[in-house]
Amino acid sequence: MLVYYNLNCSFIFYFKKKIINIVIMTTITIFCGSKETINEEFKKGIVELITGLGTVKNNSGPFKFAYGGGSNGIMGIVNKTCIDNGYYTIGINCHRWKDDSDKNLNEVYYFDNLVDRQNILVSIGDCYLVLPGGVGTLYEALQCITMNDTKEINKPVFFLNTNNYFMSLFDMLECGRKSGTITKTNEQMNIIVKDTPDELIEEIKKFSFS
């Protein structure tokens, strides 16, 4: 196992497997809740969604999955589904939240603070998947939306809107448009919203990632 520590960025990452050749793959960064208190209704369909995405082939092959890591809440379901199916996984977390399940990931990055962690989650993603979560999930999603709005990136932000969980967020954006504080539509900010895993998978299949 190779362990690498970067003093400038203050993170550690581990490569568990010997690299035979380099394959460029599309990375989908997933934002979601990690609390055990999340209602069961919002956990429905997560296994189906992640399993389905693992079979999607785009212009650069199958997806790599990047997320916070850990074994709790919806994040734990995402983590377990990826590992059980043998998908390429990248865990990006803070030192204080290290988890025993991290050893099963292909790559693991640990940071000292949320800002550095978040910047890497955003930068390595070719697209973003937002599942039900708390203020951390909203913070992550809004950073991606803001960067699309300001043209720092041009990457789709996919929402699984289970039981209209995110409707208050979209209502707030619409309120901003009516107030003149937001000038772009959801489409112009690369926001794609679907209510079911099947609908979202079909939407993601339409995109060509470079």
Rounded to whole angstroms, the Cα distance separating 87 from 51 reads 9
The DSSP secondary structure of 52-69, one letter per residue, reads: HHHT--BTTBSEEEEE--
Residue 144, both tokens: 């991606």
Instruction: Give strand pairing partners of 201.
Output: none
pLDDT of residue 128 exceeding 80, the answer is: yes
Fold of 25-205: Rossmann fold (3.40.50)
Where in the chain are the domains?
Answer: 25-205
Q: What is the pLDDT of residues 153-203, one digit of tens each?
A: 999 999 999 999 999 999 999 999 999 999 999 999 999 999 999 999 999
Q: List CB contacts of 171: < 8 A, sequence separation 6 or more.
A: none
The arithmetic mean of pLDDT across residues 71-89, rounded, is: 93
Q: What is the pLDDT of residues 16-60, one digit of tens each?
A: 444 434 456 789 999 999 998 999 999 989 999 999 999 887 655
pLDDT in the model for residue 2: 35
